[in-house]
Amino acid sequence: MVNILWLWRRVAPVLCLASLMGATSAIATEAETDQKRDTLWEKVGGIAVSDLLASETPEWVGVQVEEKPIASGLAVPQAEDSVSETLSNYAAELTEFKSLDTMEQVTSISQLRDVQPTDWAFQALQSLVERYGCIAGYPDGTYRGNRALTRYEFAAGLNACLDRIVDLIDAATRGIITQEDLLVIQRLQEEFAAELATLRGRVDALEARTAELEANQFSTTTKLSGLAFFHLTGAFADGDIRREVGQRVAVGSRDRVVEIADDPNTTYSGLVWLNLNTSFTGRDLLVTQLAVGNGNSPANVYASAGLFNTFGVPFVEQGTDNNTVILRELFYDFPVTDRLRLVVGPRVNWYRYFDNNAYTFFLTGAGSFNSSGGTQLNSVDRGAGAVLLWDISRAFKLRLGYLGESTEFLPNPPFGTASNPNRGLFNATNTATAELTFSPSDRANFRFLYTRSNIQQVGGRVGGAISEPFYGIADDGFGGPIGDATADTFSFNFDWRVARYLGLFGRYAYGSTNIYPRTGRPDGEINAQSYQIGVAFPDLGRRGALGTISFLVPFDVLSGRRYLVSGGGNGGTQYEIEATYYLPLTPNIALVPAFYVIGNPNNFDNNSTIYVGNLRTQFSF
């Protein structure tokens, strides 16, 4: 194969340059050449040039020249005139052609005194003369490049170049394949005939299977992936647990209704996320995520109203209404420039783009609801809107987002307001977020976040899943209704890989929620803070594993507790200690045991301690 390629490299230029040689003089005197070419075609007709070269005096007597097609698409008229009348003209042209025999072979372009380096075909002539040796000059040392090219001269030049090609082919192939080589090849074919036949059959079968897959494939642009989670969870307390039910003892009273929670039983539940990832250009991504599950963690039995799925609950121990399939995410991510991307959709996941942390990612790190993300940051988990992703430089990234509430697990109505024409994208619960990330190295990340929230009232109260930056339920402080609330949250988040097997992480947030009573009472605020500090152990026990231990305070009320009909407790401060170990068994299966200790649950300092154990089996496909 190498010799054939080398041969082609040598031969191809000869053919191209030989054609160029004929074209050179043709361009110089186009009108004259066209006239002479037409004359020759009319005279020669269907007689080959080789016949003209066979003898000095062609024996054309008695030859009937019939009408035949020619290259220009014209026809040659029948020659019915006397041949003797044209023999003298042919003889003159043949004499001119025979003069080519007196042309001398040249070995250097300098031997042609009428060829100058400034001539447009100089390099082509130089290559044909010095590299291939198939161009001759006239005895007087000229090339006469401006002279019209006759078919005879073209035939002579082409013949010389073809002779040279034959020489090159002979030199290139001489000794490459011998008779002995052919015999060896034949013997090998016979010896491995069975193996070759088997291989041919396997290739045919593979082609058939490939054709079947192509004919029946799900999509040429979409890939299906998924996650499945099995949860074995138990929770217990070493004494009574007080919880607020979300009601005042009476309208006009500040006292809240409090009850003692029963101990829960151990549960075993599951959750599945199916992702349809579609790309039309290779740089964009359309994500459709479906979810179905029946999870309800035992720790929820202890939680005050408005604190469902907060403390002691693994993030992926969730359920859907009546175990039905729901649309969890739907968005389109596409590039605007090399450093700028835009995400738009009717159900964008806020936590995909904000408040990330290397050691609190819910699949591999500290994975409870209170650890995997900040507890005060955003009242919209999934929403309709857009997120702008700007990678300013290697060290700085900016994220900007606006989302109207469209959370999949909340009843619609009164929630899911972004698609409700009575409330819409801008007139109910919505958030605007800005986050700047500074990464001084690939081992450390520092994130600064601000969120402005508008929170709709439901039934004259604000709270529950859309209440952040506070936990619980709020009224006017005396059981009376309030209007929509506004809130501002400031947060700092970091992760730092101190050493190969050691990392640190943490976050702090401060949030202020404005309360607007509808009862004539003065406006007020609920101010609260939250914080977390933790230690991570990458590759603990095996490569890819991750152990984490953290201490966190999810919701510490600084002021405005009187507005909390639930969540304020008796003024105590809830704290949590969490330990999680992510252990990958295979690339697709992992075990994740976790243990949580919750002190002062529901912000009652006289509540007993709650203990939660969870074993998660995680499948990815």
567: burial class by Cβ within 10 Å (0-12, 13-18, 19+)? buried
What tokens were used for 109? 């372009």
Q: pTM for this structure? A: 0.68
How many CA atoms within 13 Å lie on the side-chain side of 323? 6
Question: What tokens does 283 get?
Answer: 């740089």
- For position 173, what pLDDT does the model report? 67
Q: What is the pLDDT of residue 7?
A: 41
Distance CA 188, CA 199 (A): 15
In the DSSP assignment, the letter for residue 530 is E
DSSP of 369-415, one letter per residue? HHHHS-SSS-S-SEEEEEEEEE--SSSEEEEEEEEEE--TTS-TTTS
Can you say whether residue 459 is alpha, beta or left, with left for phi > 0 and alpha for psi between -120 and 50 degrees?
left
The residue type found at 259 is E
Residue segments in the chain with a per-residue pLDDT below the cut of 70: 1-105, 172-177
Residue 77: the pLDDT is 40
Question: Which backbone phi and psi does 311 adopt, to 5 degrees?
Answer: -75, 145
Quick: pLDDT tens for 97-107: 444 445 566 77
Q: From residue 583, give the alpha-carbon distance in Å to each of 96, 107, 589.
A: 93, 78, 9
Is 435:449 a contact under the CB 8 Å cutoff?
A: yes
C-alpha span between 482 and 430 (Å, rounded):
18
For residues 137 and 99, give the distance between their C-alpha atoms in angstroms, rounded to a whole number.
12
Q: How many residues does the chain have?
A: 621
Tell me how far apart the alpha carbons of residues 219 and 277 are, in angstroms, rounded to a whole number: 11
Instruction: Tell me the pLDDT tens digit for each residue of 22-57.
Output: 443 333 333 343 444 343 333 333 333 333 333 333
Helix locations, 338-494, DSSP H? 369-372
